[in-house]
């Protein structure tokens, strides 16, 4: 479903790669937690998988498509197959809950009849059946994240990527969100979730992939949130070796600018009447 083959991602402004020589294979139907300290590469890995960023070297395949070679015009098609949820919700502030969810269907050209059926069905699944007419600012943080999840899964994508979806929520609300994600996973959706929440990871006991300084240092089935203990001397030696390698390595060419890409770029503003 998702395969990283010797993937490295460098940013021109950084001396070290954000990800370096990553090999990772995520099979259909898995639930995978990405863990690690801030700056370890978790969010970069997620952004690469939705083509918000492009790999510097190596191969990245999602659903059999190699993203490095994918033309920009085909990126929206990719995102129809990959739902995404972020820490900051990314809801449209001037649209109701129903309209926010409806956009995900409008952009792929689903007929009005399907939109009218799928939106209420999905809102009921996430526990917001009676909140369709509310505006985002009228909702709690947990409710806003449920709307974001509803928008991500209303098209029933085979893959859902979640980047710190509970980062702005209290522990009780976070647990409810993850229970919702587990129900979505039980329906057959592959889920990859980047998180700092050790309680959730320990309770779920799913596959855990731990990143450190852009490298995978642990890949454990039925794992818990146990940061890999690295001896301080080993860490210093590894850092010294990396500095030597950087000194000997020629400066990499900068990636050609792609422009800022957002999942909502191709969405228009004429959907207010879809649910009337």
pLDDT at 252: 53
Structure confidence at residue 262 as a pLDDT band (50, 70, 90): very low
Phi and psi of 39, rounded to 5°? 85, 5
Residue 230 has pLDDT above 60, yes or no: no
For 18, 90, 106, 107, 260, the CA distances from 269, given in Å and listed in that order, are 36, 16, 10, 10, 19
Q: Are 243 and 66 in contact (CB under 8 A)?
A: no
Structure confidence at residue 99 as a pLDDT band (50, 70, 90): very high
| DSSP letter for each residue of 65-121 | EEGGG--GGGHHHHHHHEEEEETT----TTS-HHHHHHHHHHTTT--HHHHHHHHHH
Answer with the residue of higher pLDDT: 243 or 185: 185
pLDDT in tens, 146-174: 999 999 999 999 999 999 999 889 988 99
Report the alpha-carbon distance of residue 120 to residue 112 in Å, rounded. 13
Owner of token pair 């590894």: 238
Best mean pLDDT range from 227-231, 239-243, 259-263 = 239-243
pLDDT at 258: 39
pLDDT in tens, 205-226: 999 999 999 999 999 999 998 7
Long-range contacts, stretch 202-207, CB < 8 angstroms, 24+ apart: 203/175, 203/178, 204/31, 204/33, 204/178, 206/30, 206/31, 206/32, 206/33, 207/30, 207/31, 207/32, 207/33
Tell me the CA end-to-end span of the chain in Å, nearest whole number. Answer: 38
Which domains are seen in the chain, by residue range? 2-234 (3.40.50.300)
Q: Are 159 and 181 in contact (CB under 8 A)?
A: no
Query: How high does pLDDT run on average in the chain?
Result: 85
Ranges 31-45, 177-191, 236-250, 258-272: which has the least confidence: 258-272
Report the alpha-carbon distance of residue 247 to residue 176 in Å, rounded. 48
Phi and psi of 239, rounded to 5°? -65, -40
């Amino acid at each position: 479903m998702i395969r990283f083959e010797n993937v490295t991602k460098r940013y021109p402004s950084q001396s070290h790669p954000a990800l370096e020589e990553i090999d990772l294979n995520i099979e259909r139907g898995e639930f995978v937690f990405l863990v690690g300290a801030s700056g370890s590469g978790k969010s970069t890995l997620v952004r690469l998988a939705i083509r918000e960023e492009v790999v510097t070297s190596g191969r990245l395949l999602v659903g059999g498509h190699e993203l490095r070679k994918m033309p920009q015009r085909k990126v929206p098609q990719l995102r129809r197959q990959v739902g995404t949820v972020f820490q900051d919700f990314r809801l449209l502030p001037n649209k109701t809950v129903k309209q926010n969810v409806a956009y995900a269907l409008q952009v792929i050209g689903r007929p009005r009849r399907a939109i009218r059926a799928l939106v209420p069905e999905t809102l009921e699944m996430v526990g917001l059946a009676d909140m369709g007419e509310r505006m985002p600012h009228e909702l709690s943080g947990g409710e806003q994240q449920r709307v974001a999840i509803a928008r991500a899964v209303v098209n029933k994508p085979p893959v859902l990527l979640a980047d710190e979806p509970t980062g702005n929520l209290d522990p009780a609300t976070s647990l409810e969100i993850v229970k919702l994600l587990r129900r979505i996973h039980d329906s057959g959706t592959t889920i990859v979730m980047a998180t700092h929440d050790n309680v959730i990871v320990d309770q779920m006991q799913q596959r855990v992939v731990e990143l450190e300084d852009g490298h995978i240092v642990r890949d454990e089935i039925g794992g818990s949130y146990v940061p890999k203990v690295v001896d301080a001397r080993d860490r210093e030696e590894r850092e010294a070796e990396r500095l030597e390698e950087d000194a000997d390595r020629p400066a990499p060419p900068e990636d050609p600018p792609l422009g800022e890409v957002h999942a909502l770029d191709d969405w228009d503003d004429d959907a207010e009447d879809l649910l009337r």
